[in-house]
Amino acid sequence: MNKQLIGKIIFLLIIVQVFGKKLNSQKSLINNKSQQQRDFQKFKKTYNKSYESNELESYRFNVFLENIKQADRLNNENPSAQYGITQFSDYTIEEFLSLYANVKPPSQVDIFDSYVQNTSGAEETLVNLPQQWDIRVNGPGQLQQVKATGQCFCDCAFSATSTVENLYSFQQNQTLNLSEQQLVDCNYRSQGCNGGWFTDAYDYVKYTGLATSSRYPYIGMKGVCREQQVGQLYKIKGYKNLPKDQNSIKQALITNGAISVAVDGSNWGSYIRGIYKASPPFQINKGVTIIGYGPNYWLLRNNWGTIWGEMGHIRVANDGTGGIFLENAFQPNL
């Protein structure tokens, strides 16, 4: 071997060392006792948490410590993302899953006319898809601000309104903030605050239409349906279950805007930032909105407020480890 080659190999080894270190340099979240107490006080303050009794507080403190261990483990397993303390850090995993990750696709029998395909005209084929896209920057149209479900768990309602709001903005030049509450109260095919499915939400928007959220405000619990008394209702013509293919979905995003999609959000409770990866098998338990992509990820909008994740968003890996179910991607049309 000549000297030059050896030099090159040594150089490469150093690079690998340095970058390898960088990735693993995430500081452990596990602190000493007094620091843990301080972390918990800070958490309570940040997320406005209070507990009815000292017993409850000490129980939640222990849950918090367990979640920190879990976040630490996820940081080690998946260095492309960062996990840590979030608004969910005092929930047990069972509580988190049953409350915040409860979307279930219906069995085939329950599907009404969900997979109706009615898009206007043939789609333009993009030969070269851009490497990266973000509706907030590149369009088409506008999105409303990130919303928060609070204690009412109706992901599909929030995902449907965000896609329909986006659609109206670039097809009709109308800025609408549409009513999730109406879907919660009036859409009898879904279960109010206990989940639902995209096709039920879109069928409702197709046949009945949605009022604006100023006429029908969000209260975060199931109420009496007032669809008759809320003024103009905005409808869609139909919606489409997109082909399960990354390029088709990218193209649909660029030309027709935001897309509803089903995901596995089991480990999203401690997500802070970065590209989320997890190990299969995955199961559908959340509904979110695709608003962009990059070379190795999908950019998803969640409905846990801007306090969570990357200002309310998460990037999930697009190589099969992101827990995204592209066969359950839906897009409305006007």
Record the tokens describing residue 34, joined without a space: 């007094």
d(CA 311, CA 307) in angstroms, rounded, equals 6
Please, which residues have CB within 8 angstroms of residue 198's CB and are 6 or more apart in sequence? 156, 159, 160, 260, 262, 287, 328, 330
Task: State the binding string over 160-199 for ligand NAG (x if CB under 6 A, else -).
Answer: -------------x---x--x-------------------
Q: Residue 154 burial by CB count (10 A; 0-12/13-18/19+): exposed, middle or buried?
A: buried
Q: What does the block give as tokens for 107?
A: 């069995």
Element (H, E) at 238: strand 238-241
Nearest to 239 by CA among 255, 260, 224, 222: 260
Beta strand 286-294 pairing with 133-134: antiparallel
Q: Which token pair is 5?
A: 């080659």
Query: Of 32 and 128, which has the nearer Cβ to ligand NAG?
Result: 32
Query: Which one of 8-16, 76-84, 142-150, 283-291 is the stretch in contact with ligand NAG (CB under 6 A)?
Result: 142-150
Shortest distance, position 238 Cβ to ligand NAG, whole Å:
5
CA distance 313 to 201: 22
Q: How many residues interact with ligand NAG (rule CB under 6 A)?
A: 17
Does 312 bind ligand NAG (CB under 6 A)? Our answer is: no
**In whole angstroms, how close is the CB of 316 to ligand NAG at the nearest point?**
25
CB of 79 to ligand NAG, least distance (A): 22
Single out the segment in contact with ligand NAG by CB under 6 A; choices: 141-149, 244-252, 269-277, 299-307.
141-149
Cα end-to-end distance, the chain, whole Å = 67
Check residue 213 for interaction with ligand NAG (CB under 6 A): yes
Residue 176 or 253 having the CB closest to ligand NAG: 176
Of 141 and 323, CB closest to ligand NAG: 141
Selected from 83, 96, 218, 330, the binder of ligand NAG by CB under 6 A is 218
Give yes or no for residue 52 binding ligand NAG (CB under 6 A): no
Stretch that binds ligand NAG, among 32-40, 245-253, 294-302, 306-314 (CB under 6 A): 32-40
Minimum CB distance to ligand NAG smaller for 147 or for 250: 147
Q: Which two tokens stand for residue 29?
A: 């979240």
**Residue 207 three-state SS:** helix
> 149 CB contacts (<8 Å, ≥6 apart)?
155, 158, 180, 220, 303, 304
The verdict on 84 binding ligand NAG (CB under 6 A) reads: no
Cβ count near 66 (within 10 Å)? 13
Instruction: Single out the residue of 32, 108, 131, 229 in contact with ligand NAG (rule: CB under 6 A).
Output: 32
Binding site for ligand NAG (CB under 6 A): 31-32, 34-35, 48, 116, 118, 144-145, 147, 173, 177, 180, 213, 218, 237-238
